[in-house]
Chain A
Amino acid sequence: MTELTAQPVTLPARPAKGRAKFLIGGVVMLAAVVYLIVSNIGAQQEYFITVDELEAKQSDLVGRSIRISGAVIGDTIEYDGKTLTFDIVNIPDSAATIEDEGGLAKVLHEAVTNPDAKRVTVILIDQPKPDLLQHEAQAIVTGTLGEDGMFHADELLLKCPTRYQEAVPEQVGG
């Protein structure tokens, strides 16, 4: 019973001093937390780059932690149980632009059918081939650009405008 073990104490008159100590303690703690957050932002930031930008600034980017997104070309997916490679083509990086251009599904479709779109080969080693990796999926890959011009990814996130989102019954399509 901790409440009961509390000592009956006569209040010492020192709230002002106590408050100062509290403020200092609080400020020190907050400073530590701010430092923790800021230093880790510096260390862990992954830049969003489009395939176009990757091409343009190739030399500056080698070795830096970046994240690119693009439309997957189905024919280029190769997997031997160990090495997974596939090509992605450029799509706009902002959600607003994608909306303006008619939504993700349309943007992805146009990207993969455009023969002039910039593309880059993504390589992953010792990773399973994800279920969602298919033609016209949006791949978001995190990793580094290698000297070989390939994008060495260690994380792969896929988004698919599948039939499970935003669709209308095909049976009545026309």
Chain B
Amino acid sequence: MPIYELPLLLRIMPKPEIVSTLKRAATAIFEKGGFIRKIENLGQKDLPAKTSSHGVVSRQAHYFVIYFDVPPKHISNLEDIFNRDIDIVRNRIYKHDLTVNNKPCTLEDELKPPPYRRDVQKLLKITERQESRKKKFSYKSGLNYYPFQK
């Protein structure tokens, strides 16, 4: 089972209701044969924009992130369940990439000029490959430059 990340934005409400909403979400996951690895509480925060869901406008929300495992075929069903929940303002399910955090990264590497950075070099290589695929017009003059004014 792959690991998924579920950011949940709950509307502002008292603690018992938050607990019950979280439990509802967790139970939905358990019912699909999954299990939860971790629940993170990021606290109450301002929303980046005035957000409307289920006919209610929210400006703030309780931010939670749930890391869970579930068979991939149930993901769309879970999304549907969370979208129907009126206490959830926003939710989205992402696949948790384990490889991202394993990459070594130092400040020294980050402060290098762009052409020396590994990620930039990677991008340049991709561009080079794309460019090489394109057909370049050949004048067939035997010269390596265009002899006339362009």
Partners in one complex: no
Residues of B within 8 A of A (CB): none
Residues of A within 8 A of B (CB): none
